[in-house]
Structure 1
């Protein structure tokens, strides 16, 4: 069920930073038309840290209602407070998501035992499929493979989004997790190799702006058409790189604005893409035929 290209969907906002519900609706429709295999609503790319809890759940509800079961919807429900993560996960379950994605508790820098207890508590408290999310470059804590292996024994902890970009992690994880545990890339630059070596899919930032290409690459890998898949991956590489010239989702929202999909508005402390990066991002867009 959770495979292929799953977009880490942005949360579009108007100039006054209120949520742009029409743009959100149009983006979801576009992804369904373009072949995206799944949608992650209000993950970290969706600016979850700056959305109020009622906004957070409202975005998830609207995406679930609009998708209407056509593709899986995963809700970002991670927090650096275990209590808040439980609250968000319960609320996401109530509005009908297929699974929840829980980023490691950021800033706190818990030990591996603290991480284990955090995820175990959420899994024991809320009966819904849950996906771990490891992105140490943003959270300052690394969920080690041995801890993932222990957590994979919980029936409703079904997979991990691994965003270190370290392909060796895949090799380390495979023998430690239970059979059927889902391995998802969270790094567009290395996603092709991750999937080629046995990953099941990716949660992608690039899919926000090139959904058909990323979905096609994933389909080709699943069909064993590696050469064709690699050609798509290589063609998208300028975009993969340019979308991280500043902190995500600053560049991807700017690209969406250039494409006429939504405004590039973000909530503070994030700000619009610095003009010094705009030329490089625009050149990547041109090379990838997005404009």
Structure 2
């Protein structure tokens, strides 16, 4: 029996993208069974109780590229069991080829994941035809799972052009996309014709929402530094859209925006992408709301000044969250 799938209209609000918490010692290549199951369950339950609308996992900062197959299954199962149907859970199933991706995606269906956050296999830079066919093949092979396209040009050596979006919008299972930047947002929205819900990052959400009314959801890795910041952003934008008065949402972005300043080394997304995992996990742990644990090899090395910038970003986010608690 086929499962009922989400539509683009079902994707709303704040979607937390989470790390894969690691046990101490996970940075050693000899380590096995590195998933901190208890912290994973605490993180997911806490996010849902705080009001997030969905969970995205096992992308870059989720260390899908550095977990073993067995670790991935343990993590997926913990996510799904803890969420217990309260919110949609998307798990990353990108592998280095289509056949392994299909096999892991089928496992995700068996475990009960709502969807897969699916990037393009990372080896050769793909042509548009290759990228589109990959999504078609996985969707044909695994029809009972939703697909969130993981559109990260640095990770996947692909710029996700407009003709790519126009073609993947024809795949019924593709309902959303983790989206970066707003420079090409309006042309990409025109290409997908409402069939895919594009999710900008939290820092871009206010601006994107002002650009187009279809933007009513976003992804947020900062949620695990303090989820109240993410849900407040969601609620203020929703209130502004309802009332037509954007002043409070704009003022809130004036408080949120500065927390990003030290996260990106030298203000560079490209440099950030080189050390993405280490920077995000340092930021998250410094926020104090959860313990992301160490990074798995080989991406556990990062310049200390970069790490300290990420920690400062996490502390600033957490301070904003505590201020919001006091204002409530």
TM-score, length-normalised on structure 2? 0.80
Alignment of 1:265-280 (within 5 A): 265-271=294-300, 274-280=303-309
Residue of structure 1 in register with 2:176 after alignment: 159
How do residues 31-110 of structure 1 correspond to structure 2 at under 5 angstroms? 31-110=47-126
Distance 1:79-1:244 versus aligned 2 partners, 3 A rule: farther
Superimposed CA distance per residue, residues 196-252 of structure 1 (whole angstroms, 9 cap, x where no aligned partner): 323231222222213211122122212326332233333222333333434223223
**How far is 1:286 from its partner?**
4.7
Q: 1:206 aligned to 213, 222, 228, which one?
A: 222
* Residue 243 (1) aligns with residue 271 (2): no
Paired position in structure 1 for 2:22: 13
| Match in the other structure for 1:143 | 160
Q: Are the aligned partners of 1:80 and 1:108 in contact in 2 as well (CA < 8 Å)?
A: no
CA distance in 2: counterparts of 1:41 and 1:263, whole angstroms: 13
Q: CA deviation at 1:138?
A: 2.1
- In the superposition, the TM-score normalised over structure 1's length comes to 0.90
1:25 to partner: Cα distance: 1.4
Q: Residue 242 of structure 1: SS of its match in structure 2?
A: coil
Matched-pair contact (CA < 8 Å) for 1:13–1:265 = yes
Contact 2:80/2:112, CA 8 A, preserved across alignment: yes
Structure 2 counterpart SS, 1:190 = helix
Structure number with greater Rg is 2
The alpha carbon displacement at 1:39 in A equals 0.8
Q: Are the equivalent residues in 2 in contact too, given 1:104–1:139 (CA < 8 A)?
A: yes
- Distance in 1 separating the partners of 2:116 and 2:292: 27
Counterpart-to-counterpart distance in 1, 2:74 and 2:309: 35
Give yes or no for contact 2:21–2:39 (8 Å, CA) kept in 1.
yes
Q: 1:13 to 1:113 in 2, by over 3 A?
A: same
Contact 2:169 2:195 in 1 (8 A): no
Contact 1:79 1:85 in 2 (8 A): yes
Distance in 2 between residues matched to 1:181 and 1:285, nearest whole Å:
31
Counterparts in 2 of 1:211 and 1:243: CA distance versus 1, 3 Å: farther
The answer as to whether partners of 1:106 and 1:139 remain within 8 angstroms in 2 is: yes
Partner in structure 2 of residue 189 of structure 1? 203
* Rounded Cα–Cα distance in structure 1 between residues aligned with 2:292 and 2:193: 43
- Confirm or deny: 8 A CA contact 1:239 1:284 kept in the other structure: yes
Q: Deviations over 1:152-187 (max 9, x none)?
A: 112112222222x1x1322111222143421111x3
Q: Distance in 2 between matches of 1:116 and 1:207?
A: 31
Instruction: State the superposition RMSD in angstroms.
Output: 2.2
**Gapped regions of structure 1 (runs ≥ 5):** none
Distance 1:123 1:178 in 2: 20
| Alignment CA distance shift 1:282-1:66 (3 Å) | closer
CA 1:147–1:282 in 2, change beyond 3 Å: closer, same or farther?
A: closer
Which stretch has the larger CA shift, 224-233 or 56-65?
224-233
Shift of 1:149: 1.0
Q: Secondary structure at the match of 2:237?
A: helix
Residues 35 and 143 of structure 1: CA distance in aligned 2, closer, same or farther (over 3 Å): same
1:218-237 mapped onto 2 (5 Å cutoff): 218-223=234-239, 224=241, 226-237=246-257
